[in-house]
Amino acid sequence: MRRRPRPLLVLLTLAALAACGADDADESPDASGPGPDAGDPDGGAPPDDAAAGPAYQTLGLGYRHSCAVTTAGVARCWGNNVTGQLGHGETGVALSSPGDVADLAPVMAIAGGESHSCALLQDGTVACWGDGSDGQLGHGSTSAPSIAIRRVIGLASVTAVTAGARHSCALAGGRVSCWGANDLGQLGDGTITDRAAPVEVLDVTGAVALAAGDYHTCAALTDGRVRCWGLNTDGQLGDGTMADRRTAADVMGATGAVELAAGAAFTCARTQAGVLCWGAADAGQLGDGSGADRPSAGLVTGSAGALSLAAAGRHACARFAGGIVRCWGYDARGQLGDGVDLSGLPVIRRTPVMVVGLDGITAIAAGGHHTCALAAGGAASCWGDDGAGQLGDGDGSTGPRSTPGAVLP
């Protein structure tokens, strides 16, 4: 049976997660103008001792949990743990500060899904843990939440890993393999059959970058094209239609892509010209000043010179020279980091706004309603929703914050 597509909000049906808040974008004022300046002394910059903790080299955020990898290759996670997605050997115990993932070999990169996590290990294999009910852990079987961290079957020489709501994908040798839920074609193997072990995506070769949205997946190729597959109700596949695809289709207007990021129902690509986005625009997540869904690529306002991308839920961010970060889209929980007043109706930013108090940023990542960044030296900071401790500040508060705060050691 075809699942009703959801913008990565399914965990909100659980009583334990009721604190997250509602996603009422269509009731929000359009606040596409600039937010507070990055130099604002009240901008909430991370404290000077933020670098006192472990030095991180990469980030990977899920819907309501966060993970980072230290320069020593240790994976650490915090936030929601209902299905064991933190990898701490138990379920149900959320953490508001980072804890090491148990029994995991040295890690290169990490990715978070709706309620599971996957890590790219230094030996080129992939390990996953958390919710495996749709096969998204790649162990060869479906199961209830798995606290055991196990290797994904049949993968080697992997260079990138990504996670969608309930599926996962890996890149190796220019080819893409995916596993997990496939009811909307998000595995790209020409079927709608869920897979508990990796299957190769059809008609994709020479891939150099990869990104998974909730129910769709995209790959950038060596020739700069982007090909996408899966759910397409909002144009997130970018092929000029709103038709779902079980195999890959070319994105219209996307050329020269070198990096991809995907949200719930939209996709973005970084090119020499700037950031291109397509798909859902109800919360301004295309960054072009409009609110109209678009099934082909269009340029994000003021995005020339972007150095890296992040997207999730209904917001996206880009990093620029000098280590500054600009974000756009839905701001209900402060996930854009622009210091917005969270006491009123949720705000939408239809063009990029500056994240306050940040500079020298070297990496960014986005979760369902939160965002994190790494500074030179490896210190991490996060902002947005903190209903499950996913900001990692350890203060026990569950309230959202619209300015960056330091992740505790």
The secondary structure of the chain in percent helix, strand, coil, rounded to multiples of 5, reads 5, 40, 55
pLDDT digits over 318-349, tens only?
999 999 999 999 999 999 999 999 998 889 99
- What pLDDT is recorded for position 136? 98
Give me the residues paired with residue 144 across strands. Answer: none
Q: What is the pTM of this model?
A: 0.88
Where do the domains of the chain lie, and which CATH numbers do they carry? 45-406 (2.130.10.30)
How far apart CA 21 and CA 371 sit, in angstroms, is 17
Tokens 């072009």, located at residue: 288
Q: What would the two tokens of residue 322 be?
A: 């000098």
How far apart CA 294 and CA 316 sit, in angstroms, is 16
Q: Provide the 8-state DSSP code for 381.
A: E
Q: Give CB contacts under 8 A, 24+ apart, made by 147-152.
A: 147/84, 147/87, 147/88, 147/89, 147/90, 147/91, 149/87, 149/101, 149/102, 149/103, 149/104, 151/125, 151/126, 151/127, 152/118, 152/125, 152/126, 152/127, 152/128, 152/179, 152/197, 152/198
Fill in the amino acid letter for 235.
G
CB-based contacts of 88, cutoff 8 Å, min separation 6: 77, 81, 95, 99, 100, 101, 102, 147
pLDDT digits over 91-123, tens only?
988 999 999 999 998 999 999 999 999 999 999
Distance of alpha carbon 39 from its chain centroid, rounded? Answer: 27
Please report the beta strands in 264-369, taking only residues with DSSP state E, as ranges in sequence order.
266-271, 274-279, 294-299, 308-312, 315-319, 325-330, 348-354, 361-366
- Furthest-apart CA pair in the chain: how many Å? 54
How far apart CA 34 and CA 397 sit, in angstroms, is 28
Q: What strands, in cross-sheet order, belong to the sheet with 315-319? A: 308-312, 315-319, 325-330, 348-354
How far apart CA 125 and CA 344 sit, in angstroms, is 46
Taking 70 as the pLDDT cut, the residues of the chain under it are 1-53
- What pLDDT is recorded for position 395? 82
